[in-house]
């Protein structure tokens, strides 16, 4: 029976959970995860775990934070004066804003606090700093 290797296009189903058991993401039969091993379309650590699996095989995979979205970084949290934003723009906690930095790069950041004259934005991925567990089933190898 064929096993998954670098260059193969694979179809997987998964349920992703956090340490507290909360599901952060999952696939369905209608929306499986399809990727090419080695093409850096998913976490490299996840690709490595799929290598050697056979179609129909299941596996539980733990990705520590540093192999997933990385650690939370305080340098990704910014506090800006309210005047940095258009006066007529409503800014609320939970809102995502796209900011352009001096180097010309744009970055989507989450508003985490709106205070007296200041707005705090977090550019960390929501799952940064968290270990992720995947209950994974390899459905197909092309």
pLDDT tens track for 29-71: 899 999 999 999 998 989 999 999 999 999 999 999 999 999 9
Q: Is 69 left (phi over 0), alpha (psi -120 to 50) or beta?
A: alpha
DSSP class of residue 78?
E
Q: What fold is seen in the domain 9-70+127-141? A: Chitinase A; domain 3 (3.10.50)
Helix (H, G, I), strand (E, B) or coil at 25: strand
Alpha helices, DSSP H only, in the chain? Answer: 44-50
- Mean confidence (pLDDT) of the chain: 94
- pLDDT beyond 90 at 101: no
Q: Tell me what pLDDT residue 93 has.
A: 97
What residues does each domain of the chain span?
9-70+127-141, 74-122
Q: What's the predicted TM-score (pTM) here?
A: 0.78
- pLDDT beyond 90 at 16: yes
Q: Tell me what pLDDT residue 104 has.
A: 85
CB-count exposure of residue 38 (10 Å: 0-12, 13-18, 19+): middle
Q: Which CATH architecture has domain 74-122?
A: Beta Barrel (2.40)
Nearest to 17 by CA among 135, 140, 141: 135
- pLDDT beyond 90 at 99: no
């Amino acid at each position: 029976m064929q096993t998954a290797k670098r260059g193969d296009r694979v179809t997987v189903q998964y349920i992703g959970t956090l340490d507290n058991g909360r599901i952060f993401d999952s696939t369905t039969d209608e929306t499986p995860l399809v990727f090419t091993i080695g093409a850096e379309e998913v976490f490299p650590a996840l690709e490595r775990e799929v290598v050697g699996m056979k179609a129909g095989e299941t596996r539980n995979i733990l990705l520590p934070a540093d192999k997933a979205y990385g650690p939370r970084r305080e340098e990704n949290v910014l506090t800006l004066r309210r005047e940095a934003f258009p006066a007529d723009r409503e800014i609320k906690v939970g809102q995502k804003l796209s900011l352009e930095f001096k180097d010309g790069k744009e970055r989507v950041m989450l508003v985490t606090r709106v205070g007296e004259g200041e707005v705090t934005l977090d550019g960390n991925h929501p799952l940064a700093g968290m270990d992720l567990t995947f209950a994974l089933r390899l459905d197909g190898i092309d």
